[in-house]
Amino acid sequence: MHHRPAAARRPTGPVPLLLLLALALTGCGQDRYPQTALQPLSDFARIGDHIQDQTFYWALGVFILVEGALLYAIFRFRGRPDDPEPAQIHGNTTIEIIWTLIPALILAAIAVPTVKGIFETGMTPSGQLLKIEVIGHQWWWEFRYPEYNLTTANELHIPTGRTVELLQHSNDVVHSFWPPRIAGKRDVFPGRQTRLWFKADSAGLFPGQCAEFCGIQHARMAFQVRASSPEEFDAWVAHMRTLGPRPAAGAQAGDSLKTASAGGTVQGPQAPAQADTARPAADPEYAKGEQLFRAKGCIGCHSLQAVDAPHGLIGPNLANVGAREYIAAGWLKNTDENLEHWIREPQSLKKGVLMPNLGVTADEAKALRAYLRAHK
Ligand code: CUA
């Protein structure tokens, strides 16, 4: 084996530095880089951003002072050919003390907002919390809403203006839940609960990412946070409450549920008149897909009911998969083409995923796609 010394590969001089800086600055554009923590959209995210800002300005001040002094010394005290030997000194205790004290004071100044931020983000928020259970799986996210007895996957729906408390754990290994514009990272462990809270102030679809290496598809363990107005969120909840093969206990017609906007009530959904609410009128593709969903064993790992969904299934809940922006945990846009490709060859799209290639033909994939697409 041939090894080059590390020093030979280390970039030196101003050009790599400038390139690095340019690269770093391109990260600031929110359109091309939507996973930026520098444009926070919630109270929690602003706490972290505020600490980052303060640290940055302290560091900028130090940089200007130190580099300025360095440049001044380089030019002002530059050696010339005829210069005599400079005076040899051992050191200067006063200066040593000063330049030990100054960084200590700066660190103390940064520690104040940092420690405050740690306590603020770790506290239990008060008020009408919307509790959502977050379960990490290799490699997708399960979201359960105990308040509404609803389950979904990979697309977290939240109302704006109401504090959401995420109660998180993992089904397998350690993951980390990170929606950069909404909140900081929070590790997700098996056998232990962690909490994360935030109050989103803007509606929109915001990407998030698993931020702890959790296996070969860690990079494709993404999710979306869909924040919407309380009214829209209520409508989503009411709609989701109709997605089940049977009416859930407590979801009878005329029942009311708590609204997202804190405390009030909205009319509950009518109990579905027929068992399968996703069924379009007499679509042969749908009927074929429905039959294949059972025959190919899909039903063993995926639930199609949002209400009263079973715990502990291996695959993501698909009750509203037809309406999601992405499939495969944020990895593929939810187009018909991608959905069919995924159904046929999950292993070539996301190697190592627990869903095997099931030997589905192109025609079968089309039927399964039609069936799943109808589940919105
Ligand atoms: Cu889950 Cu990385």
Tell me, using a 6 A CB cutoff, whether residue 190 lines ligand 1: no
Cα 175 to ligand 1 centre (Å): 4
Question: Closest Cα to residue 196, out of 180, 219, 213?
Answer: 180
Residues 154 and 236 in one domain: yes
Q: How far is the CA of 352 from the centre of ligand 1 (A)?
A: 13
Q: Is the CB of 213 under 6 A from ligand 1?
A: yes
| CA 224–ligand 1 middle distance (angstroms) | 15
- Specify if 79 maps to a domain: no
Nearest CA to ligand 1 atom 1: 175
Q: In CATH, what number is assigned to the domain containing residue 199? A: 2.60.40.420
Q: Is residue 187 in contact with ligand 1, taking CB distance under 6 Å?
A: no
Q: How many angstroms separate the CA atoms of 22 and 10, rounded?
A: 18
Are 198 and 154 found together in one domain? yes
324 part of a folded domain:
yes
Distance CA(179)–CA(186), nearest Å, equals 10
175 lines ligand 1 (CB under 6 A): yes
- Whether 218 lines ligand 1, by a CB cut-off of 6 Å, is yes
* Total structural domains within the chain: 3
Ligand 1: atom nearest CA of 211 is 2
User: The domain spanning residue 97 has which CATH number?
Assistant: 1.10.287
Residue 260, domain extent: 247-373
Residue of 96, 144, 121, 200 whose CA lies nearest to 313: 144
Whether 195 and 286 share a structural domain? no
Closest approach atom of ligand 1 to CA 174: 1
Say whether both 138 and 96 belong to one domain: no
- Pair 299, 327 in one domain: yes
Q: Which of 240, 266, 301 is the last residue of a domain?
A: 240
Q: Is 80 contained in some domain? A: no
pLDDT of amino acid 34: 84
Quickly count: other Cβ atoms within 10 Å of residue 147's Cβ. Answer: 14
- The parts of the chain modelled with pLDDT lower than 50 are 1, 4-8, 246-258, 260-274
Do residue 231 and residue 251 come from a single domain?
Answer: no
210 Cα: distance to centroid of ligand 1 (angstroms): 4
pLDDT the model gives residue 83: 87
User: How far, in Å, is the centroid of ligand 1 from the Cα of 144?
Assistant: 19
Report pLDDT for 271.
42
Residue 230's identity, in one-letter code, is P
Is residue 214 in contact with ligand 1, taking CB distance under 6 Å? Answer: yes
CA of 65 to the centre of ligand 1 (A): 41
Which atom of ligand 1 is nearest to 188's Cα? Answer: 1
**Does any ligand 1 atom lie closer than 6 A to the CB of residue 135?**
no
364 and 254 housed in the same domain: yes
In this prediction, what percent of the chain has a pLDDT beyond 70?
84
Binning the chain into helix, strand and coil, the percentages to the nearest 5 are 35, 20, 45
Q: How many C-beta atoms surround the C-beta of residue 229 within 10 A? A: 14
Summarised one tens digit per residue, pLDDT across range 199-245 is 999 999 999 999 999 999 999 999 999 999 999 999 999 999 998 76
Q: Which atom in ligand 1 lies closest to the alpha carbon of residue 212?
A: 2
Whole-number average pLDDT of the chain: 85
Ligand 1 near 99 CB (within 6 A) = no
User: Is residue 210 lining ligand 1, measured as CB closer than 6 Å?
Assistant: yes
Identify whether residues 367 and 262 lie together within a single domain.
yes
DSSP one-letter string for 350-370: STT-SSPP----HHHHHHHHH
Instruction: Note the pLDDT of residue 49.
Output: 93
- Is there a single domain that holds both residue 29 and residue 100? yes
Q: Is residue 358 part of a domain?
A: yes
85 inside domain: no
Where helices occur in the chain by DSSP H, the ranges are: 6-9, 14-26, 43-76, 93-122, 230-240, 284-295, 336-344, 346-349, 362-373
Neighbours of 29 (CB within 10 A): 11
Residue 218 lies in a domain: yes
218 Cα to the center of ligand 1, angstroms: 4
Residue 316 lies in a domain: yes
Q: Which of 324, 176, 248, 237 is nearest to 316 (CA)?
A: 324
Residue 103 CB-density burial (10 A; 0-12 exposed, 13-18 middle, 19+ buried): exposed
User: What is the model's pLDDT at position 367?
Assistant: 92
Answer yes or no: do 344 and 362 share one domain: yes
Q: What is the distance in A from the centroid of ligand 1 to the CA of 216? A: 9
Among the three residues 183, 214, 240, which one is the final residue of a domain in this structure? 240
254 & 362 share domain: yes
pLDDT tens for 129-151 read: 999 999 999 999 999 999 999 99
pLDDT, position 251: 41
Shared domain for 231 and 276, answered yes or no, is: no
Q: Give me ligand 1 centre to Cα 219, in Å.
A: 7
Distance of CA 213 from the midpoint of ligand 1 (Å): 5
Is 274 a member of any domain? yes
Residue 214 Cα: closest atom of ligand 1: 2
SS3 category, 259: coil
